Structure 1
Amino acid sequence: MKPSNRLDRFTDIIQSPTDHRDYAMVTLANGLRCALVHDLKSQQSTAALAVAAGHFHDPSHTQGLAHFLEHMLFLGTQGYPEATEYQDYIHQHGGQHNAWTGTEFSSYYFSCDSAAFAGALDRFSRFFYQPTFNTDWITKEVLSIEAEFKLKKSDELRRLYQVHKTTANPAHPFHKFSVGNLATLTDNGDTTRLETELHEFFTNWYRANRMTLVLAGPQSLDELAAMAEAYFAPVSGNGPPVKAETAPLYLPDQLGVQLNVRPIKDARRLILAFALPGIDDDYAHKSTSFIAHLLGYEGPGSLFAELHQRNLINSLSAGGGISGSNFKDFNINMQLTDEGLAATDIIIEQVFATIRLIEQQGLEEWRYVERQTAIANAFRFQEPARTADLAAQLAINMHHYSDQDLIFGDYRMAGLNIEKTRQLLAAMTPGNMRATFIHKEVEVTEHEPIYGTDYQLAALPNEQLERWSAPASAWARLPPPNPYLHDLKAPLPLPEAGSDTPQLHTIAPGITLWHLQDPDFRAPKAHIYCQFVLPEATRSARHYACARLWSELMIDRLNEDCYDAEIAGLHFNIYPQHYGITLHVSGYSVGSAELSAHLLAQFRQPSFADSRWRDIHQKLQANWQSALANKPLNLLFARLNVLLQPHMYALSDLAGALAEVSLDDFKQWQADLFQSAEVKLFAHGDVNLERLGPLLEGVQQQFSLSENLQAQVPPTYSVAELKQSGKLEQRGQLQTQHSDHAALLVIQGKSLDITQQATLLLLNQFIQPHFFNELRTHQQLGYVVGSTYMPIEQRPHLLLYVQSSRYPATTLCERINTFITHFIEDLEELGASDLGNIRKFLVRKLREPDTNLRLRSQRLWTCVSQYNVNFDRLEAIAQLLESHTTSFFIEKIREQLSATENHGYITATPKEL
């Protein structure tokens, strides 16, 4: 394709010093603004298009139309009328695609092999100027929208969101139902009007001047500009200009109110939402973000700390909430304890006291500069995102930021805007607030018909409004200067005899260290993993439940102490797994080893307040007991792990076991927890052995260490053995509290052999589009249909799954079996046409360089955490894929699909009430 010389380019785009890409922006003659991203290191190319048309633009009598249009664009264009042509092409060339519909924008994006980019763009671009909107597919896809709606009908966030919409201004487009279903899109199933309105919506809103496009890949900027012009010039321009909404989000009687919402699952939540004006014009100063930083601070003496120490709340976050062109809900979201439920007046009073404290004492330049420094460090040393992930975000950024701030807009903090910040704080008053209480026992008088949520909206009493308007003295104090925050320096020098793989160091009996000072990602960042193999954490459901509780309590106890480190860019997590308990510290390398040592020192003799133990003990039980209301497929994946992995336990078993654990029982278990431990450390990034010294000394001094505990954990269970023992039938048929049915077929490799791994990895990529097109697109079995490759302790598994609101699990199993039978029959023909490209894609994917330090750390930790450490497995699979013929793999795939002794079903059916 010839380069375009006719398009003026803007290249003055601010980017991070760690960003190796080249950027430019052009505007086509039709008004389409395009960002071009040249990434020489990328093996794939990506396109993303965002259009200023979302559910706000739906006609009131056809709510969900924008979302329905998004679905229909994938089902054929005049140039490529076959409904699966686009999806098939993307999958055949190693790619992925997706889309979403929001309030004021919709987004479409894909990635594929760079050599196939032109062909993919030819198919993709036609979405936006020649969709067919085939009548037959309109009828079918309405059923898919209905299935998606039913799938999410019990989703707590959607239920709350719809109540929020119902109680907002009917004249504001936020009031509309965004998803759509059979009732809102059709006239009792008749799609005649829908087809007409679909054409009208597309013609009105899908115009080039309302769109932004990002093309990214290894192609030069000239080539990308030429592609933009060649494929997107036919998109019609001259659409209506993008305008902000004018109607207020809330009417006067919808503010100064209390909104009660009854959830399905057990919940105790208080959300205080303040109605603020739109904030797009303030992105350069981020005044709401600065206020959220001060209100949401969790260090000692903070609003969170004071309420938490009094056992009134478990969590607090500030600054979230819906936003749009003329509105911003500033939310303070709190999870309440039982005591907190009875003290909401006091909690809300303290929130207002803290807001007034910030207004009076918090607007100091040094506080803003601290936030500026933290954000500047994050930008300067940001870890490059995959180009495929970056493109969709940039397409949306182009609608909100100046061209220069295409990337930097998310980080720009140009100085404290005192006037704007005072205006925002002045609007955070009781009369401008909506206080939402989410609990099963709140008083309700109304019923939201779409999702079936019971709620009540009522004006807050005057005495409460008056009390909160003149609150008592604040318990909280404002944050002191952050001792962890400073300008970061260059990374440590590399050793002369460096390595590109982690090296093993045996520190002492029972403690090993894998270490790699990374030679490629030269930023002052590090990841430190500390894996404790602990028999007392895993030997039974009771022990594992205690380990989960202990991890939650430790995080709860340490969060306040470590919050300044968190703000400065040092993060930690503590979690149990089937070996024991793992600590992960990540972020800037300066202080990471010291923080790890400090946290591990707390492991040995932690003391937890009895009130915190009771509250988290109760919360975990409630979460586990309510799990049956989760999406069936989520439950099936969780149950699969339980069936295949030793020392993993069903949530229902954990809930039952934890219910029998008293505080004294827990204290006795805790005393024994570290009596026998094996420790495996992994340190990666800008960290050398000298810097790790205090951590290594601390582990040896504080823990009683044993050897070879990890070797005693049994291997992955085989599907064949589970079937023979009857365990698969006994434990693999779940009854849930969800209305959908689901089926999950497990195809397990016979061994850990590299050929088995390569075959199932290849089969997953091969079978995925055929399985989706047949069972989702043609048979319309359900909205969620797919496949995935899942190795467990390096034993490979292929999973095929369907979730349906229309068909029982037995039918889903039968349809999957029929599909596999036909797939085997067509294997020779399909494999001859598809497998060559798929093999090449997988080889490239397996050899694809790590994008950033975080992804490399995750990959290496996956290798290190296994009992048999092997860093060459991916390369070995790539070599095997290269060295064998297509016919060899067709035969291996046939063997895998025909070896039904290694196949097993897990199913979910609604529990009879």
Structure 2
Amino acid sequence: MAIDSEKQVSSSDSTIVRIVDNIKKSECDTWNYRGLELSNDMLVVLISHPNIDKAAAALDVSIGSLADSRDVPGIAHFLEHMLFMGSSKYPGENEYAKLIEGNGGYSNAFTSGDHTNYYFDINPSLLPDALDIFSQFFISPLFAASSTDRELEAVNSEYEGNLFKDIWRIAQLEKSTSDPEHPYSGFSIGNSESLRTTPKQRGINIREVLLDFYKAQYSSNRMSLAVLGNQSLDELQSLVIKSFKDVPNNKLQKPKYSPDPYGEKNRKTICYVVPVKENRRLTINWVIPDNKELYYCNPESYLSHLIGHEGDGSLLSYLKQLGLAIELASGDKNSAPGFNFFTVDLELTIDGLNRWEQVIYIVYQYLAMIRKEGPKEWIFNECKNLNAMHFQFREKERPDDFVSNLAGRIRDYPLTECLSGEYEMREFRPDLINEVLNEYLIPSKMRVFLASKEFVSIATEKEKWFGTQYKKEYLPDALIQKCETYEIIPELHLPKPNEFIPTDFHLFSKEKSSIRPQLPIKIKENELYRLYYADDSFYKLPKTYLYFEFRNPLGNVDPIHFNLNTLYVELIEDSLTEVAYPAQLGGLQYELTAINYGIQLTLYGYNHKIKELLDTIIDRMVHPKLDSQRFGNIKEKVKRALQNFRRDVPYQMAHFGVTYLTAEHQWNKDELLSCIDGITMNDLESFIPQMLTRFYTDSLMYGNLTKNQAIEYMTSVEEKFQEKRFYQPLFPGMWFNQRELILPDG
């Protein structure tokens, strides 16, 4: 819904060049928006609503670690830390932190390849004070020498905290093995070696490097600001002008980087990687063009939709049939002005690891099938309509996340589309889809990363910054040539039109909008279930939340039964993938979880088709499709998760440890791991009817549904279980509640 219009400001107001009051927003959005272009070329979006709990602001600088000095890698990230350490107007190191944290607020920042983003939230009444301190980071930061060593330790601690995380290790390996002349190959996070030891050895003054980087890279014409408050738009505008009009404009050019971060000699290569955890991952990367300016065509989104699809005929579905893969993700990533990447990331089975060349070949057969079929406008339109629906009914984010994300994309789109730009798909351009598919997603331009503990004996190289063991070599010529051929595989085909896309967005609640969500009330109780319900008169969205706890202590009587319950749930989820993925695209999510007292099922999303998904899930629980190959792969996946617990970060292990010590009926990971190998498919087939014969259901239903619909949904669940004579009342001795010790003070 557009309001008012864009207008130029008269020359008498020298601080504002342009005001944009027609920012596109959804009809459900009750917040008010205004865009500004200041005379110093800073772009601003103001957001106003009288009933917010937290005010928030974020400033994004369109520069990041890709601009690091080669001599001092990590300097952009270090600068992000140092800006918090006082300014000429507010010289106290902790003035900003005291104001924010002392008034129920939160602040943070992050550095990416081409962005540095600073954000906070706070009690709305203190937004003016916080904005004034915040703005001084970008006007007159101190970079005090007394703060340098302390913040350098903070940067190094951040580095050490990520040192044994595979996602960081493999990401840095990909960079370090790229073209050494391209800034993408740098070390972005920084540590004490790159920021203290090496500069000191070379006679480099790190504070001077910080000052030089700030002067060379920070400028108001690279900055975007988002401010959320309960003041009116005019009041917010005055606050912003007062605080940010003096941010200097050095008239810096928009950075643009070389389009090829890999370089010719790094293509057609494979890195065998030794991970920290028990993982088997195959990742294929290609460099593709930076199409950000053609956001309304979005060829990458079209291709990602098909390659990452998990329904019938999909790449993942076929790899699962062959027992080669468990999960797949696909899409563009890490884009920066000048270049972008497209990636296919697969979690392999043991067999898939041994046959990784066949997996790559099948990926290219799927790409060949897409080429042969050609770009389909109906698929583009389906993606377009889904995006429009998600924008129309998008939910509010946390205030700090909202302004941070918004500030980061303001310069990617026209100000009028700063909210809608990432959802826009207006123009079908088959030529752009074909260009990416035919010129970039080809065998001769791929890089492959294959991660497994099994490569420890051959991984003779070590990445400098994270110490990751790897071996890099060229892919076999025979594989490249084979991947350039096309074989018709009947199991690989385009998806069918999605039947889970909702078309009815009618709101059932006739209540006026409430200030707070309603508390649920109990609407039915018997020997089989207890049902709580509340309709949505607060969010006013065509969405529903369904929650079920199927309570039976059998799934936790000993570690073997807990593992059996976990395997049952995992196999149900695995077998539902082809159905659940289209539902997910249509805005429906579900989660099935093994818990200490049974099974937990959660569904959430657009209410129009949620009953169909609920029926499908319960049908599959009652009639599970058990297959020995899938059972073996899922059992191995569960086992790996148990083994990887010891390699988790310490705070996660400590969190589990506290629960284990205080909770009743809690098995530790070693106990679960000790008996997983002995479980057979026959054991699982015997367990399932025992688990489902007797249980009690606690249920909560909230959102855009009536009381009668809630009872209808619960009755349907009851009837589906009872078709196979499941779902009888628990015996009195089977009742128990999850309990934890109350620890005394001190």
What is the TM-score of this pair, normalised by structure 2? 0.93
Partner residue of 1:630 out of 648, 652, 660: 648
Q: Give yes or no for contact 2:528–2:697 (8 Å, CA) kept in 1.
A: yes
**Structure 1 CA distance for aligned equivalents of residues 58 and 13 of structure 2:** 20
For the aligned residue pairs, the C-alpha RMSD in angstroms reads 2.2
Alignment of 1:62-101 (within 5 A): 62-101=72-111
Q: Does 1:429 align with 2:442?
A: yes
Sort the Cα spacing of 1:515 and 1:523 in 2 relative to 1 into closer, same or farther, 3 A: same
Q: Give yes or no for contact 2:553–2:596 (8 Å, CA) kept in 1.
A: no
Q: Does 1:578 align with 2:596?
A: yes
Q: Give yes or no for contact 2:660–2:667 (8 Å, CA) kept in 1.
A: yes
Displacement of 1:601 in angstroms is 2.5
Q: Does 1:469 align with 2:484?
A: yes
Q: Aligned with 2:344: secondary structure? A: strand
Q: Give yes or no for contact 2:530–2:697 (8 Å, CA) kept in 1.
A: yes
Alignment of 1:853-868 (within 5 A): none
**Structure 1 CA distance for aligned equivalents of residues 204 and 87 of structure 2:** 20
Q: Which amino acid in structure 2 is aligned with residue 375 of structure 1?
A: N
Q: Aligned with 1:716: secondary structure? A: coil
Match of 2:137 in 1: 127
Q: Does 1:271 align with 2:283?
A: yes
Match of 1:562 in 2: 580
Q: Does 1:211 align with 2:223?
A: yes
Q: Aligned with 1:691: secondary structure? A: helix
Sort the Cα spacing of 1:136 and 1:495 in 2 relative to 1 into closer, same or farther, 3 A: closer
Displacement of 1:5 in angstroms is 9.2
* Cα deviation code 1:260-308 (max 9, x no counterpart): 2111211111111121111212211111011111111111222211111
Match of 2:194 in 1: 184
**Structure 2 CA distance for aligned equivalents of residues 87 and 168 of structure 1:** 39
Partner residue of 1:37 out of 47, 50, 63: 47
Q: Aligned with 2:143: secondary structure? A: coil
Q: Does 1:659 align with 2:669?
A: no
Q: Give yes or no for contact 1:295–1:318 (8 Å, CA) kept in 2.
A: yes
Q: Does 1:308 align with 2:346?
A: no
Q: Give yes or no for contact 1:204–1:239 (8 Å, CA) kept in 2.
A: no
Q: Aligned with 1:690: secondary structure? A: helix
**Structure 2 CA distance for aligned equivalents of residues 122 and 642 of structure 1:** 47
**Structure 1 CA distance for aligned equivalents of residues 97 and 734 of structure 2:** 44
Displacement of 1:660 in angstroms is 3.6
Partner residue of 1:453 out of 468, 487, 493: 468
**Structure 2 CA distance for aligned equivalents of residues 630 and 654 of structure 1:** 17
Where structure 2 has 5 or more consecutive residues not aligned to the other structure, the ranges are: 1-11, 722-726
Displacement of 1:707 in angstroms is 7.4
Sort the Cα spacing of 1:586 and 1:714 in 2 relative to 1 into closer, same or farther, 3 A: closer
Q: Aligned with 1:321: secondary structure? A: strand
Q: Give yes or no for contact 1:589–1:686 (8 Å, CA) kept in 2.
A: yes
Q: Aligned with 2:19: secondary structure? A: coil
Say which is worse superposed, 56-65 or 295-304, in terms of deviation. 295-304
Q: Which amino acid in structure 2 is aligned with residue 250 of structure 1?
A: Y
Q: Does 1:483 align with 2:532?
A: no
Q: Aligned with 2:473: secondary structure? A: strand
Q: Which amino acid in structure 1 is aligned with residue 393 of structure 2?
A: F
Q: Does 1:224 align with 2:236?
A: yes
Sort the Cα spacing of 1:301 and 1:694 in 2 relative to 1 into closer, same or farther, 3 A: farther
Q: Aligned with 1:75: secondary structure? A: coil
Q: Give yes or no for contact 1:46–1:216 (8 Å, CA) kept in 2.
A: yes
Q: Which amino acid in structure 1 is aligned with residue 446 of structure 2?
A: M
Displacement of 1:504 in angstroms is 0.9
Match of 2:363 in 1: 351
* Cα deviation code 1:222-255 (max 9, x no counterpart): 1111111111122111242112112521211111
Partner residue of 1:440 out of 428, 453, 463: 453
Q: Aligned with 1:329: secondary structure? A: strand
Q: Give yes or no for contact 1:315–1:335 (8 Å, CA) kept in 2.
A: yes
Sort the Cα spacing of 1:447 and 1:294 in 2 relative to 1 into closer, same or farther, 3 A: same
Q: Which amino acid in structure 1 is aligned with residue 206 of structure 2?
A: L
Partner residue of 2:122 out of 107, 112, 116: 112
Q: Aligned with 1:354: secondary structure? A: helix
Displacement of 1:41 in angstroms is 1.9
Match of 1:237 in 2: 249
Displacement of 1:708 in angstroms is 7.2
Alignment of 1:451-850 (within 5 A): 451-474=466-489, 475-494=491-510, 500-692=518-710, 694-701=712-719, 702=721, 703-706=727-730, 712-713=736-737, 715-720=739-744
Displacement of 1:518 in angstroms is 1.3
* Cα deviation code 1:146-184 (max 9, x no counterpart): 222122111101110111011111121111100111111
**Structure 2 CA distance for aligned equivalents of residues 117 and 690 of structure 1:** 45
Q: Give yes or no for contact 1:245–1:325 (8 Å, CA) kept in 2.
A: yes
Q: Give yes or no for contact 1:349–1:472 (8 Å, CA) kept in 2.
A: no
Where structure 1 has 5 or more consecutive residues not aligned to the other structure, the ranges are: 721-898, 901-913
**Structure 2 CA distance for aligned equivalents of residues 350 and 375 of structure 1:** 29
**Structure 1 CA distance for aligned equivalents of residues 24 and 360 of structure 2:** 42
**Structure 2 CA distance for aligned equivalents of residues 29 and 322 of structure 1:** 31
Match of 1:341 in 2: 353
Q: Does 1:381 align with 2:396?
A: no
Q: Which amino acid in structure 2 is aligned with residue 456 of structure 1?
A: K
Partner residue of 1:150 out of 153, 156, 160: 160
Q: Aligned with 2:171: secondary structure? A: helix
**Structure 2 CA distance for aligned equivalents of residues 615 and 115 of structure 1:** 55
Match of 2:265 in 1: 253
Say which is worse superposed, 649-658 or 432-441, in terms of deviation. 649-658
Q: Aligned with 1:358: secondary structure? A: helix
Q: Aligned with 1:483: secondary structure? A: coil
Partner residue of 2:25 out of 15, 25, 29: 15
Q: Aligned with 2:693: secondary structure? A: coil
**Structure 2 CA distance for aligned equivalents of residues 222 and 507 of structure 1:** 53
Displacement of 1:693 in angstroms is 5.1
Sort the Cα spacing of 1:175 and 1:192 in 2 relative to 1 into closer, same or farther, 3 A: closer
Displacement of 1:360 in angstroms is 2.1
**Structure 1 CA distance for aligned equivalents of residues 163 and 213 of structure 2:** 26
Say which is worse superposed, 702-711 or 663-672, in terms of deviation. 702-711
**Structure 1 CA distance for aligned equivalents of residues 487 and 523 of structure 2:** 58
Sort the Cα spacing of 1:714 and 1:622 in 2 relative to 1 into closer, same or farther, 3 A: closer
Sort the Cα spacing of 1:59 and 1:248 in 2 relative to 1 into closer, same or farther, 3 A: same
* Cα deviation code 1:581-619 (max 9, x no counterpart): 111111110121232133122222313211111111112
Q: Which amino acid in structure 2 is aligned with residue 655 of structure 1?
A: L
Q: Aligned with 2:205: secondary structure? A: helix
Displacement of 1:73 in angstroms is 1.2
Q: Which amino acid in structure 1 is aligned with residue 730 of structure 2?
A: S
Match of 1:282 in 2: 294
Sort the Cα spacing of 1:676 and 1:57 in 2 relative to 1 into closer, same or farther, 3 A: same
**Structure 2 CA distance for aligned equivalents of residues 189 and 354 of structure 1:** 49
Displacement of 1:657 in angstroms is 3.2
**Structure 1 CA distance for aligned equivalents of residues 129 and 734 of structure 2:** 50
Paired residues in the alignment total 720
Q: Aligned with 2:184: secondary structure? A: helix
* Cα deviation code 1:71-90 (max 9, x no counterpart): 11112222222222211111
**Structure 2 CA distance for aligned equivalents of residues 307 and 93 of structure 1:** 53
What is the TM-score of this pair, normalised by structure 1? 0.76
Q: Aligned with 1:360: secondary structure? A: helix
Match of 1:328 in 2: 340
Percent identity between the two aligned chains: 25
**Structure 2 CA distance for aligned equivalents of residues 436 and 131 of structure 1:** 42
**Structure 2 CA distance for aligned equivalents of residues 178 and 710 of structure 1:** 55
* Cα deviation code 1:537-584 (max 9, x no counterpart): 123333222222222111111111232222212221101223321111
Q: Which amino acid in structure 2 is aligned with residue 481 of structure 1?
A: P
Q: Give yes or no for contact 1:149–1:181 (8 Å, CA) kept in 2.
A: yes
